[in-house]
Copies of this chain bind each other. A is one copy, B any other.
Amino acid sequence: MVHEPCELGQLQIGYIQPVNDLSTPFTLADQVIVALRKVIGQKSAVLHEPTFSGNEWLYLKECLDSTFVSSVGKFVDRFETDLAVFTGAKHVVAVVNGTAALHIALKLAGVNSGDEVLIPALTFVATANAVTYCGATPHFVDSDENTLGVDAVKLRDYLEHHSKQRAGQCINRTTGKIIRALVPMHTFGHSVDLDEVISIAYDFNLALVEDAAESLGSYYHGRHTGTFGLMGTLSFNGNKTITTGGGGAILTDDPELARHAKHLTTTAKLPHAWEYRHDEIGYNYRMPNINAALGCAQLEQLPAMLKAKKELFQRYQAAFATVSGIRLVEEPAQCQSNYWLQTLVLDSNNADQRDILLQATNDAGIMTRPAWILMHELAPFRECPRMDLAGAESLVQRLINIPSSSTLLQAVS
């Protein structure tokens, strides 16, 4: 799941409405604004903005001075190595953005024209788009109230009833097409129930590709998200925990997949001093060195950012402890979340409050945002196969992201 196209987090909202007089009866919107103000103070706040407080300038200058700003240069190699160390993935291939990472990972997972790929309906559109770039069709899966990601219990039951195994392949009983892969997305940085998801992938012969675009710095059973599947993908868009301007990465423990990913993302050119021989259809998806330079500096700051984001969560937790009718999303069991986007979920009987809350908070200079429109409700994906999506449909009516920048508390204090 990637969020490159629209840095809403960086829309500047310049004015602040005063909180209601405490003598008037408190609406839920009033209570939410008071709780938010307890944490972020009286200033306006955007959803998520990057911070460049480390070696960013130094490395960019070093990159310019070297004249190696493009496809060749030491920062790309270093960024890949640093990411491998941080995530524990054996191999990392840096690419131009998270969408490109997902496209290549799906291709290398064997997704072919005519296949289906299971993805959550509750995701950013890039997950679905990447499937279509392979000529395949997204097949939408419901989401779990707790993890906000793939509902593993429902998915297993669905596949038991709606798919069959033939020659080691999972076949959609209705369409007759091969369901080739499963792409769980770790929503807002919270890991899906990976134990169960891995078990489903195994039992139903599905290639597992983790969309970890939102979960750099998130762990499941102490292991980094994106390193459980055949491959995982990251995003470093401007709205992410760390940014390279635009960027992404493919994680894998398989040396041959890593080699092939690097080959495909660099136009499939065979090495030669001067000959331009390309042995398959390739892509121009490599990360430029200048973006990697930014990434190296950002990655150095990541531990401090994660600490700050966890502290922000704890401050929100305290502030919302007394607000009833709404809950702050906590990291699921067995998970350590990066808390990329802090999230409120309204109780079911308060779903009609979502738009009121969105309006009131944004009017008050506190940027908030609902989840994405569910994929099966978008024009290009209306006809795609899907399971019952009651969980995702309910969540999307009740979910609100609130200001989440790692610098938010610094700005307050």
A residues near B (Cβ < 8 Å) are 2, 4-8, 10-11, 49-52, 56-57, 60-61, 64, 67-72, 96-100, 124-126, 129, 132, 135, 237-239, 243, 245-246, 266-267, 269, 273-284, 286-291, 294, 358, 362, 368-370, 372-373, 378-380
Q: Which residues of B contact A60 (CB under 8 A)?
A: 60, 64
Report the minimum CB–CB distance from A340 to chain B (whole Å): 15
CA distance A334 to B274 in the complex (A): 32
CA distance A106 to B286 in the complex (A): 22
A-B residue pairs in contact (CB < 8 Å), sample of 18 = A4-B284, A5-B71, A6-B71, A6-B266, A7-B72, A10-B70, A11-B273, A52-B67, A60-B60, A60-B64, A70-B245, A99-B284, A100-B284, A126-B284, A129-B281, A276-B373, A279-B380, A280-B379
Q: Which residues of B contact A72 (CB under 8 A)?
A: 6-7, 10-11, 238
CA distance A48 to B361 in the complex (A): 53
Report the minimum CB–CB distance from A139 to chain B (whole Å): 16
Q: Using A5-B266, A125-B267, A370-B274 as known contacts, say yes or no to A52 and B71 having CB atoms under 8 A apart.
A: no
| Consensus secondary structure, chain A interface | loop
Partner pick for A64 among B11, B52, B125, B277, CB 8 A cutoff: B52
Q: Which residues of B contact A64 (CB under 8 A)?
A: 52, 56-57, 60
Q: Are B290 and A294 in contact (CB under 8 A)?
A: yes
Q: Which residues of B contact A99 (CB under 8 A)?
A: 283-284
Oligomer: number of copies: 2
Q: Which residues of B contact A362 (CB under 8 A)?
A: 273-274
Q: Using A267-B126, A289-B245, A291-B290 as known contacts, say yes or no to A275 and B4 having CB atoms under 8 A apart.
A: no
Q: Which 10 A-B pairs have the closest CB atoms?
A: A70-B238, A245-B288, A5-B267, A99-B284, A246-B288, A245-B290, A276-B372, A69-B245, A7-B72, A274-B369
Q: Which residues of B contact A284 (CB under 8 A)?
A: 2, 4-5, 97-100, 126, 129, 246
Q: Which residues of B contact A243 (CB under 8 A)?
A: 69-70
CA distance A103 to B326 in the complex (A): 46
Q: Are B275 and A370 in contact (CB under 8 A)?
A: yes
Partner pick for A373 among B6, B277, B289, B370, CB 8 A cutoff: B277
Q: Which residues of B contact A125 (CB under 8 A)?
A: 267, 269, 276, 278, 282
CA distance A308 to B234 in the complex (A): 42
Report the minimum CB–CB distance from A98 to chain B (whole Å): 8
Chain B residue nearest in CB terms to A370: B274
Report the minimum CB–CB distance from A124 to chain B (whole Å): 7
Report the minimum CB–CB distance from A211 to chain B (whole Å): 14
Partner pick for A7 among B57, B71, B98, B267, CB 8 A cutoff: B71
Q: Which residues of B contact A2 (CB under 8 A)?
A: 284
Q: Which residues of B contact A69 (CB under 8 A)?
A: 50, 52, 238, 243, 245, 294
Chain B residue nearest in CB terms to A276: B372
Chain B residue nearest in CB terms to A291: B245
Chain B residue nearest in CB terms to A248: B284
Report the minimum CB–CB distance from A86 to chain B (whole Å): 20
Report the minimum CB–CB distance from A11 to chain B (whole Å): 8
Q: Which residues of B contact A266 (CB under 8 A)?
A: 5-6
Report the minimum CB–CB distance from A326 to chain B (whole Å): 18
Partner pick for A5 among B56, B275, B286, CB 8 A cutoff: B286
Q: Which residues of B contact A67 (CB under 8 A)?
A: 10, 49-52
Q: Are A4 and B286 in contact (CB under 8 A)?
A: yes
